[in-house]
Amino acid sequence: MSAQPNVLYLIHHPDWTDCRVADVLRARGYRIDYLCHPAGEPLPANARDYAAVMVGGSEEGHAGRPDLHDWVACEIAFVRRAVEDGVPFLGICMGSQLLAAAFGGVVMARPDGLTELGFYPIEATAAGEELFAGTSHFYQAHFEGVQALPEGAVLLARGVQFPVQAYRIGETAYGLQFHPDYKLTNVTPESLSKDSYRDRFGAQPADEQLRLAPIHEASIQAWTERFVDRWIGPAARRSAA
């Protein structure tokens, strides 16, 4: 691992750099290296050059159909190598689905096409009870999900519509179907009017999202800070380890 406390963040659109998790990591002493693989930027040869790897969401890629886009299969292989090499990993939304696919899980849409867009409750399992204490709702934006976890994965939280909301492989590889990365200040009438999922079956109405955003902002911020400290902790502490 590099002496520099850099976190590699694979994004799937060049403009998707505004991220709550990245802000928390910077506050803990890390630097963020953004890389947009679908835009043609090559994946690094070795994930061990980084303190951790994050992979975000996508509107085009499908972890369960890597044949549709060449970059998806490349990222699945990269994720598997990173986790097997012991690099702390965080997959958010599609990133979570890529992690599952990398280790033999099943990723697919619901037969009825239901989409989660907005704020939905999650329920912690016994293994995730401490991690999710005090936080009941998260922002979601997806129509596919992990339908079957890889062998050995630990389910941390489940949802009503999608059974896998958070899980862990080993000690430092996490998959989160929900979006702690999304800043709720970005939930505005203008942003909601442009959301490509807004008219899908199951999506919350815009006025309901606007009502819920300020209600859940503080708990999601607190959860994200707690999660990052559990996942990789402050850079100084990690360097000392």
Condensed to tens digits (0 to 9), the pLDDT of residues 202-218 reads 899 999 999 999 999 99
Cut 0.95: pTM above it: no
229/25 Cα distance (integer angstroms): 9
Mean predicted lDDT score pLDDT of the chain: 91
pLDDT of residue 238: 67
Regarding beta strands 154-159 and 144-148, do their DSSP bridges make them parallel or antiparallel, or are they unpaired?
unpaired
Q: At what angle do helices 94-102 and 70-84 cross, to 10 degrees?
A: 70
* pLDDT cut 70: percent of the chain above it: 95
Partners of 179 in beta bridges: none
Regarding predicted confidence, which is higher, 197 or 51? Answer: 51
pLDDT of residue 2: 45
* Cα dihedral 106, 147, 90, 68 in deg (nearest 10): 50
Whether 230 shows a pLDDT value over 80: the answer reads yes
Q: Which helix (H) or strand (E) element contains residue 137?
A: strand 137-142
Q: Which helix (H) or strand (E) element contains residue 98?
A: helix 94-102
In angstroms, the Cα distances linking 159 to 6, 82, 138, 145, 164 are 33, 28, 11, 11, 7
Whether 19 shows a pLDDT value over 80: the answer reads yes
CA of residue 128 relative to chain centroid, distance: 16
Query: Coil, helix or strand for 60?
Result: coil
Q: Are 44 and 33 in contact (CB under 8 A)?
A: no
pLDDT of residue 60: 80
pLDDT of residue 190: 85
pLDDT of residue 1: 42
* Residue whose token pair is 């490509």: 196
- pLDDT tier at 224 (50, 70, 90 boundaries)? very high
Domain ranges of the chain: 6-234
pLDDT of residue 236: 64
In angstroms, the Cα distances linking 51 to 55, 71, 149 are 14, 23, 26
Query: For 75-127, how does the pLDDT look when each residue is reduced to its tens digit (9 = 90+)?
Result: 999 999 999 999 999 999 999 999 999 999 999 999 999 999 999 999 999 99
61/123 Cα distance (integer angstroms): 27
Tokens of 203: 């999506």
- Of the listed ranges 62-76, 148-162, 163-177, 195-209, the one predicted with least confidence: 62-76
CATH class, 6-234 region: alpha beta
CA angle 154, 216, 142 (to 5 degrees): 55
Q: Identify the top-confidence range among 2-16, 61-75, 130-144, 194-208.
A: 130-144
Q: Are 209 and 216 in contact (CB under 8 A)?
A: no
- Give me Rg for the CA atoms of the chain: 17
